[in-house]
Amino acid sequence: MSDYNEMELMLSVASRQLEDNSVVIVGTGAPCAAAMLAQKTWAPHMTILFEAGGTGPELTRMPISVGDSRTFYRGLWATSMDNIMSMLQRGEVDAAFIGGAQIDMYGNINSTVIGDHSAPKVRFPGSGGANDLASLCWRSICMTIHSPKRFVDKIDFVTTPGFLNGPVSREKAGLPPDTGPSRVVTNLCVMGFHPDSKRMMVHTLHPGVTRNEVQENTGFELIWSDDINETPPPTDIELELLREQIDPEKLIIGREVQLR
């Protein structure tokens, strides 16, 4: 199983960002597949939450929505959205997956509009619960395709806060201290954020990807870790789980990653 596609690589890398004995809130699609993979490998005691109320289910099949009955199957708790959001406010959720149309150097995300808010070129669904998740979880993880249209110097609308304008910006805005974006997983690399400047910083390059390729597909100047390594590819066990148990219909892993 040495051959893998970019989506399988992204899912395996994203799953490795999750920790055992943690509480993680996910949506459907790729974030759910990554969480399922983590739970079936190195994080068997991880508790998965869904926004509609499913808490700690046994995920035998991929749910198609956050309210799918499969998100409650053999769960610890069948509750409601207000209780899930209350858990966020109490600081009981360790990590969340976040996505969107645009992201800037501080991890702020736009999933609302392209262009002026009053007369947008494109209007997207908006936050859903993403603002709450990124504001109140201890850390957030973004999975996205790497392109200059997504990684921009200035996003058109701040739907979901990252580090806002840099150091201490979150705290000044009233968000809990020691929270914020943690990792950005793309089809080219894995990035984090510089501990002082809070700017996006490259940690590992995916196999066959160069520094120039990453920078050329980013609309702002990246920071580079002092020790850039190659991202470990998916293992045979990870690929087997993704293909045979988590997504046998290939709804996620069968998607073609857009050309960058």
Number of CB atoms found within 10 A of residue 109's CB: 29
Q: How far is the C-alpha of 149 from the C-alpha of 220, rounded, in Å?
A: 11
> Collapsing DSSP states into helix, strand and coil, what is residue 18?
coil
Tokens coding 174: 């009233």
Exactly one of 6, 8, 19, 51 is catalytic; which is it? 51
pLDDT of residue 226: 92
Q: Are 238 and 34 in contact (CB under 8 A)?
A: no
Which whole number is the average pLDDT over 8-25?
96
pLDDT surpassing 80 at residue 255? no
Rounded-to-integer distance, Cα 9 and Cα 118, Å: 39
Continuous segment of H or E residues that includes residue 214: helix 211-216
Average pLDDT, the chain: 93
The model's pLDDT over 141-157, given as tens digits with 9 standing for 90+, comes to 999 999 999 999 999 99
2: confidence class by pLDDT, cuts 50, 70, 90: low
Query: Per mean pLDDT, which range of 119-128, 160-169, 192-201 is the poorest?
Result: 119-128
What confidence tier does 126 reach under pLDDT thresholds 50, 70, 90? Answer: confident
- Sign of the alpha-carbon torsion through 166, 35, 11, 20: positive
User: In this predicted structure, what is the pLDDT of residue 238?
Assistant: 97
Banded pLDDT at 256 (limits 50, 70, 90)? low
| CA pair distance 207, 4, nearest whole angstrom | 11
pLDDT number for residue 89: 94
Work out the pLDDT band at 260, boundaries 50, 70, 90.
very low
Grouping H, G, I as helix, E, B as strand and the rest as coil, residue 13 is helix
Which H, E and C letters describe 20-57, residue by residue? CCCEEEECCCHHHHHHHHHHCCCCCCCEEEECCCEECC
Structural domain boundaries in the chain: 6-246
Give percent of the chain with pLDDT exceeding 90. Answer: 80
Q: Which fold has domain 6-246?
A: Glutaconate Coenzyme A-transferase (3.40.1080)
Q: In terms of residues, how long is the chain?
A: 260
pLDDT of residue 94: 97
Residues facing 54 on adjacent strands: 78
pLDDT at 257: 61
- What CA–CA distance (Å, rounded) separates 183 from 143? 9
| pTM, two decimal places | 0.93
**pLDDT bracket for residue 62 (50, 70, 90):** confident
Sequence-distant (≥ 6) Cβ neighbours of residue 188 within 8 angstroms: 146, 205, 206, 209, 213, 214, 217, 260
- The reply to whether 221 belongs to the active site is no
- Is residue 15 a contact partner of residue 39, using CB atoms and an 8 Å limit? no
